[in-house]
Homo-oligomer: A and B are copies of this chain.
C-alpha cells in the first residue's frame, strides 16, 4: 500500500521513487482516498516541529560552465570552523590567505586590462584601478569599492579581485578602500575609513556620477555607508551594488540553516566568518544596523542591484534586503547564480557566469549614473 504514516514523510524519508510494486497495485479508488491529503497541507503552527531533512549527495550541477563547475565542485573550505578570538589570532590567517590571493592579482589585471596604484585618501589606504580604455560615457564616473572578508580577511591586494572585475568588465575607474581591520582596529574603523573615502569622493566627483559596491562584509559596508550618509546628511551615490551582503550578523535568515554544509565557502553560520565579524564588532551590538543593515531604515536608498547564488549561505539575507528595499519603494534588482555558493562570482574572471554578473551590474550603473 502506498499510504505512509504522516510522520514517516517528515523524517529521513529517502528522496526516491516509491517502489514500483506499490504504485502498480494502486487502484483508481485508492488514489482517490489519498487525494484528500495531497492538497490541503494547511495548519501547523509557527512553533512547528523542525523539518528533518535527510543527508544527501549533491553533485556539481551540469548546467554551469566548466570554470564555474570547478568553483562549485571544490570541497568545503578547509578549516571553515576555525574560531580565532582576537585580532592577533586573525592576523596570520589573514596574511597567509592574502598572500595566496594576491598572487592571482597580476593575472587578473593583465586579462582584464586594468592597472592599479596604491594611494592614501585623507589618511585612508586605498587603491585606484583604471581600465586601459574608458568609454566616453564613463569618463566622469567613479565607483567606490569596499572589499569583503568577514571584516578580518583580504587586506591589501587580496581585496582587489572584485574591484578588478568591475573595472575590467564595466570599464569604470574604481577606488578600492583598504580599510583598517583587527588587530589594527575594530568597529567602527572599517566603517569610518569607508566614510572618509566616500566623503572625499563627493568633494571631487558629482555624486550623481558615482556608485558604491562590495561583496559579503563589503556588501554590508556598502549598505552601511548609505545608512550613515543618510544620517549625516551627506550626498548619496546614484546606485549601489551590495553582493551577498552580511546584512544580518545575528544569524537570522533561513538559508543559514538550509544552505549550511552546502555552501562550500562560508559552510556554516557558526564558522570562521561569524568569528571574524565578532572580533571586528568587539562587543558592539550585532543588531545595530551598521553591522546588520537589514534592520536599518532603507527608505530613500539609491537604486540597488543585489547578487547571490542558490547555494549561498547568505541567500536569505540577500533576498530579505531586496524585499525591504522594495517595501521602501526603492528600485532594486536581484540576480541569483545557479548552483553558486557565497561570492562564487568573484572567483574566476574567465567563467562566463562571472562576466554575466559584472555586465549586469555595469548595465545597472550605466542606467542610473549621470554621464
A: which residues have CB within 8 A of B? 2-4, 6, 9-10, 12-13, 15-18, 23-24, 26, 28-29, 31-48, 50-63, 66, 69-70, 73-85, 88-98, 100-101, 153, 252-255, 257-262, 264-265, 267-270, 272, 310-311, 315-316, 319-320, 322-323, 326-327, 333-339, 356, 360
Shortest Cβ distance from residue A42 to the other chain B in the assembled complex, whole angstroms: 7
CA of A69 to CA of B26 in the docked complex: distance in angstroms? 34
Listed by A's residue number, 14 A-B pairs whose Cβ atoms lie within 8 Å are A15-B261, A15-B269, A31-B93, A33-B96, A34-B93, A41-B77, A41-B265, A43-B70, A45-B70, A48-B73, A50-B58, A56-B260, A61-B257, A254-B310
Q: Return the contact of A310 from the options B17, B18, B255, B333 (Cβ within 8 A).
A: B255
In the complex with contacts A9-B76, A44-B74, A82-B31, A61-B254 CB distance below 8 A: yes
CA of A271 to CA of B258 in the docked complex: distance in angstroms? 21
The reply to whether B310 and A316 form a contact with Cβ atoms under 8 Å apart is yes
The reply to whether A316 and B61 form a contact with Cβ atoms under 8 Å apart is yes
Shortest Cβ distance from residue A95 to the other chain B in the assembled complex, whole angstroms: 7
The reply to whether A79 and B360 form a contact with Cβ atoms under 8 Å apart is no
| 6 A-B pairs with the lowest CB-CB distances in the bound complex, closest first | A35-B96, A32-B92, A48-B73, A37-B78, A39-B97, A61-B254
Q: Return the contact of A60 from the options B15, B48, B253, B316 (Cβ within 8 A).
A: B48
Q: Which residues of B contact A269 (CB under 8 A)?
A: 15
Shortest Cβ distance from residue A152 to the other chain B in the assembled complex, whole angstroms: 11
The reply to whether A84 and B254 form a contact with Cβ atoms under 8 Å apart is no
The reply to whether B40 and A100 form a contact with Cβ atoms under 8 Å apart is yes
The reply to whether B15 and A85 form a contact with Cβ atoms under 8 Å apart is no
Q: Return the contact of A9 from the options B73, B78, B97 (Cβ within 8 A).
A: B78
Given contacts A31-B93, A48-B69, A323-B338, 16 further A-B contacts (CB under 8 A): A18-B81, A26-B84, A28-B91, A44-B73, A45-B70, A47-B60, A51-B59, A52-B57, A54-B55, A61-B252, A61-B254, A63-B254, A63-B320, A255-B310, A322-B336, A327-B356
Q: Which residues of B contact A31 (CB under 8 A)?
A: 82, 84, 89-90, 92-93
In the complex with contacts A2-B82, A45-B73, A36-B96 CB distance below 8 A: yes
Q: Which residues of B contact A81 (CB under 8 A)?
A: 2, 4, 9, 17-18
The reply to whether A261 and B13 form a contact with Cβ atoms under 8 Å apart is yes
The reply to whether B55 and A52 form a contact with Cβ atoms under 8 Å apart is yes
Q: Which residues of B contact A337 (CB under 8 A)?
A: 319
Taking CB as reference atom, which chain B residue is nearest A81? B18
In the complex with contacts A52-B55, A89-B28, A323-B356, A75-B23 CB distance below 8 A: no
Q: Return the contact of A82 from the options B34, B76, B255 (Cβ within 8 A).
A: B34
CA of A311 to CA of B311 in the docked complex: distance in angstroms? 11
Shortest Cβ distance from residue A34 to the other chain B in the assembled complex, whole angstroms: 5
In the complex with contacts A73-B48, A75-B9, A327-B356, A320-B338 CB distance below 8 A: yes
Shortest Cβ distance from residue A66 to the other chain B in the assembled complex, whole angstroms: 5
Taking CB as reference atom, which chain B residue is nearest A99? B36
Shortest Cβ distance from residue A61 to the other chain B in the assembled complex, whole angstroms: 4
Taking CB as reference atom, which chain B residue is nearest A46? B69
The reply to whether B253 and A61 form a contact with Cβ atoms under 8 Å apart is yes
CA of A43 to CA of B70 in the docked complex: distance in angstroms? 6
